[in-house]
Structure 1
């Protein structure tokens, strides 16, 4: 695990809480070092501060997402909704604003690691769900379009998995937010809209005229029961 924060005292405090929770954790204090260590050590998760010298956390997150599927929990002193949404658009898996509660941070880390775990040998096998051109493999955490793999963030996949479980059923933004990362005081239901826009770009033939991932105005979203469901 890696903590990247230019506030040395704050970074060390986070590291100690993570170690106390049973994790190995290293600390760096700038964006370039974060990239170097991430590429070298391949951590399971990075706690990434947005405001760092050299390369900021948003640049680091964008670069990491192009190179790997490492979990990214972003931290920032900024509390505006736009900053949160930008981090999620770049592929961050979760988001906390400073001042951060160490207990909440550790809980978020546990949740992210648990959801990222690759299947349970004692769990029943799940069939791949196929809706139109899209295949969703819940156990393998994989998505395909026309049998070609599509990269999705964990938040995007959680939404797709939830909606594909019962095609035709409408889920509210609040329900979908719970599926992705639970109700978050620093977040809003607009987060779901960002995920949906990103998903449509990846799975729809024409994202401007979606036939699979449908909006139910005033309510939420649903997965079409078939490509012709409107």
Structure 2
């Protein structure tokens, strides 16, 4: 796996790179946003570790630009530690968020969880499914989602979340359940991280995210995929 490590603090960058290399990963590094974005456009990478407070172009802008053309997993590692900052990071397309100071083993665990999710999608193929008279079409093999025949770009986390809900249509999944299936670990906190991912997914697949027909909230319990959404297997 090739990782792009975007961090302007040399000491942090060197330590992280050393551990990543020991894990057997190919590591590219960048110290500013412009260089990082150029690398993602010219070189195929499997994961981006992204600091937000970097020169020339902010990490937020780098994340937004990457998401315009790629669903490569993005792990934000930032000193911005407020919950609002974390939610913002997820809203602009990050798959996961770790605050500084961090433990190296936690970073490695998050990377491994992301890698397992990528490998799982690569290894298994599923039929194409459509809903609501093909207004929503999901191709599980190509990992593509179409809304009214228009391709919408989901992050790895968003696609995994949709996959988890579709595995048990009609069943209410708690935030803890979804975090385990999607992230590979159970969240610690009030669940706003998973809520943010649900919100982002609804914006992309629901015609009216405030009145969803696919992903339904069950107050105090969690979320479920609506089995009455006219599902049809087409492949």
Instruction: Provide TM-score, normalisation by structure 2.
Output: 0.87
Select which of 114, 117, 120 maps to 1:115: 117
Please give the alpha-carbon distance, in whole angstroms, between the structure 2 residues aligned to 1:28 and 1:3: 6
Residues 50 and 59 of structure 2 are in contact (CA less than 8 Å); yes or no, is this contact kept in structure 1? yes
Residues 146 and 152 of structure 2 are in contact (CA less than 8 Å); yes or no, is this contact kept in structure 1? yes
Please give the alpha-carbon distance, in whole angstroms, between the structure 1 residues aligned to 2:51 and 2:63: 10
Give the gaps of 5 or more residues in structure 1.
Answer: none
Instruction: Provide TM-score, normalisation by structure 1.
Output: 0.89
Q: Report the secondary structure of 2:186's partner residue.
A: coil
Please give the alpha-carbon distance, in whole angstroms, between the structure 2 residues aligned to 1:41 and 1:203: 30
Q: Report the secondary structure of 2:68's partner residue.
A: helix
Q: Report whether the alignment pairs 1:128 with 2:131.
A: no
Please give the alpha-carbon distance, in whole angstroms, between the structure 2 residues aligned to 1:84 and 1:35: 21
Counterpart position of 1:170 = 172
Number of residue pairs matched?
224
Residues 131 and 225 of structure 1 are in contact (CA less than 8 Å); yes or no, is this contact kept in structure 2? no
Q: Does 140-149 or 150-159 show the bigger shift?
A: 140-149
Q: Report the secondary structure of 1:176's partner residue.
A: helix
Counterpart position of 1:55 = 57
Please give the alpha-carbon distance, in whole angstroms, between the structure 1 residues aligned to 2:225 and 2:187: 24
Q: Report the secondary structure of 1:195's partner residue.
A: helix
Please give the alpha-carbon distance, in whole angstroms, between the structure 2 residues aligned to 1:141 and 1:188: 30
Residues 72 and 94 of structure 1 are in contact (CA less than 8 Å); yes or no, is this contact kept in structure 2? yes
How far did residue 208 of structure 1 move?
Answer: 2.1
Q: Report whether the alignment pairs 1:201 with 2:203.
A: yes
Q: Does 5-14 or 199-208 show the bigger shift?
A: 199-208
Residues 137 and 143 of structure 1 are in contact (CA less than 8 Å); yes or no, is this contact kept in structure 2? yes
Residues 75 and 97 of structure 1 are in contact (CA less than 8 Å); yes or no, is this contact kept in structure 2? yes
Residues 46 and 71 of structure 1 are in contact (CA less than 8 Å); yes or no, is this contact kept in structure 2? yes
Please give the alpha-carbon distance, in whole angstroms, between the structure 2 residues aligned to 1:189 and 1:129: 29
Please give the alpha-carbon distance, in whole angstroms, between the structure 1 residues aligned to 2:51 and 2:144: 29
Counterpart position of 2:72 = 70
How far did residue 184 of structure 1 move?
Answer: 4.0
How far did residue 202 of structure 1 move?
Answer: 1.7
